Amino acid sequence: MTMPYAYEIIQTPRHVLTFHEFGNYVRQIWTDGRGHETAYPTWFGHSVGRYEEGALIVDTVAFNGKGWLDQLGLQSSDALHTVERFHRNGSTLEYSLTIEDPKTFTRPWIAKATLDVIPNGDIVEFVCLENNKLVGSPGMHVDEEK
């Protein structure tokens, strides 16, 4: 959720879906009252959400222990548990993530971000270099075929 790529939040009566530009990933956050009883290990874990004081609170467990927590390769374990908070504040989305993983860290820690909301924005297909708006930016080198 903290990758620097766009994602769309889609709400239905049963769940909230996040559709991500990077990797074209779709994440399900169940909001129909279920718990984690049917959870089995996956890359994104099993997420259940509830609305509280205008915010979506998401509790996630059952990660498979193979995922990275950052772009440098800090790996989580199968004991990872996260709690996220999404709160719309005008034209921004306030996001916080509490990470608890007793096999990896000595205590829980929190990451926060304020994200711009882009009404009617488009999620474009992201496949390596196709449609990559960062091509040509400092630090991005692409050998062009001649």
Segment 105-141, tens digit of pLDDT:
999 999 999 999 988 888 877 766 666 665 665 555 5
34 touches 40 (CB < 8 A): no
Q: Which amino acid is at 74?
A: L
Which of 128, 116, 62, 120 minimizes the C-alpha distance to 92?
Answer: 116
Per-residue tokens: 59: 């509790």
| Domain regions of the chain by residue span | 7-116
Q: Residue 37 pLDDT more than 50?
A: yes
Total-model pTM: 0.84
